[in-house]
Structure 1
Amino acid sequence: MDRKKFLKTCGMGLIGLPFASALLTSCESIYYATSSIKNNSLIVPLSEFEIVKKNTTTYRTFVLVKTSREDFPICLYKTGNNEYTAALMKCTHRGCELNVGGGIYSCPCHGSEFDTKGGVLEGPADQDLKTYKTSIQNENIYIELS
């Protein structure tokens, strides 16, 4: 292969890689859960993770929750059986709203990546995401906002 053809092939591969990655990680749709606020806690019914279609129930991996107390949504992520994490969808690098999918939070502005517990996986961000304590009571998930 000559140099020109090699560079062209590599360039096309680099251009196509982000698109292929986006297609593979965006299989789960974004869902905004209903919630309420009581005693400084955001309350999300566990049923918000259910998807019922034709007598079949499947479960979402995450839901987004909007609150008037924050400018960005909070992602409530199911990490295990009755285990949930909650993180503010604001990148700690420059404040862009994060995308969620493929088991990570990613920043569309500068490429920072975070795990589902809010920890930095890849920079330029060097601080973890703002996270919230979660608990389960009476078929509801409570996110402590303080």
Structure 2
Amino acid sequence: MQRREFIKSSCNACLAGAFASLLPSCGAIHYISGNLNRDGILVDIDDFKERKRGKSSWRSYIIIRNEELKFPICIYRFSENDYSALWMQCAHQGAEVQVAGSYLQCPAHGSEYNNRGQVTNGPATTNLRSFPVSVINNQIFIDLRKV
């Protein structure tokens, strides 16, 4: 194999590998709109269920995107009755944070928060805004009245 062919095939292999690694991460994020009422948002617990290769499992988080809300809300699931609901607006300068598995990161200046909304890396010094969460029957209620 000549040098040029080797470099070309190596670059193609790297690009294919990089592209393939992005596909599962894009598919893992589950967006819903939720049912917004005057007090908060209702979300079905079943929205956390997912089926992969014929097996059921639980998503660790879902994201509520509702056109009535200025920013999305990320809901993390820790157990059957333990959830956290986080406003996805960075406490540093207000950019929308991005979910990266078990933490959230601000693309503007790099602030990071854990899945309970606590600052783990600055420049932010304030935690993310969180909302009280209640589990009622088969639904999660996120109370938007309380700060």
- TM-score (structure 2 length as normaliser): 0.75
1:124 and 2:123 aligned: yes
In the TM superposition, 1:69-88 aligns within 5 A as 69-88=68-87
1:111 and 2:122 aligned: no
Residue matched to 1:96: 95
- What amino acid sits opposite 1:87 in the alignment? L
Structure 1, 92-101 or 124-133: larger mean CA deviation: 92-101
Residue matched to 1:141: 140
Shift of 1:96: 1.1
Residue by residue, what CA displacement relative to the aligned partner does 1:55-91 show, whole Å, maximum 9, x if unpaired? 4211110000123443110001012332100000110
Structure 2 segments unaligned to the other structure (5+ residues): 1-17
> Percent of counterpart pairs with the same letter?
33
Secondary structure of the corresponding residue to residue 143 of structure 1: strand
The answer on whether the counterparts of 1:28 and 1:101 sit within 8 Å (CA) in structure 2 is no
Shift of 1:116: 1.0
The answer on whether the counterparts of 1:120 and 1:128 sit within 8 Å (CA) in structure 2 is yes
- TM-score (structure 1 length as normaliser): 0.76
Residue by residue, what CA displacement relative to the aligned partner does 1:89-144 show, whole Å, maximum 9, x if unpaired? 11011111111123111111111001111111110001111100001011000000
Structure 1, 32-41 or 59-68: larger mean CA deviation: 32-41
Secondary structure of the corresponding residue to residue 48 of structure 1: helix
Residues 28 and 62 of structure 1, relative CA distance in 2, 3 Å threshold: farther
The answer on whether the counterparts of 2:33 and 2:66 sit within 8 Å (CA) in structure 1 is no
Runs of 4+ in 1 over 3 A off after TM superposition: none
- What amino acid sits opposite 1:123 in the alignment? G
Shift of 1:54: 5.0
Residue matched to 2:9: none
1:65 and 2:60 aligned: no
The answer on whether the counterparts of 1:34 and 1:48 sit within 8 Å (CA) in structure 2 is no
Secondary structure of the corresponding residue to residue 96 of structure 1: coil
Aligned residues: 124
Shift of 1:53: 4.1
Residue matched to 1:50: 49
Residues 109 and 41 of structure 1, relative CA distance in 2, 3 Å threshold: same
Secondary structure of the corresponding residue to residue 67 of structure 1: coil
Structure 1 segments unaligned to the other structure (5+ residues): 1-18
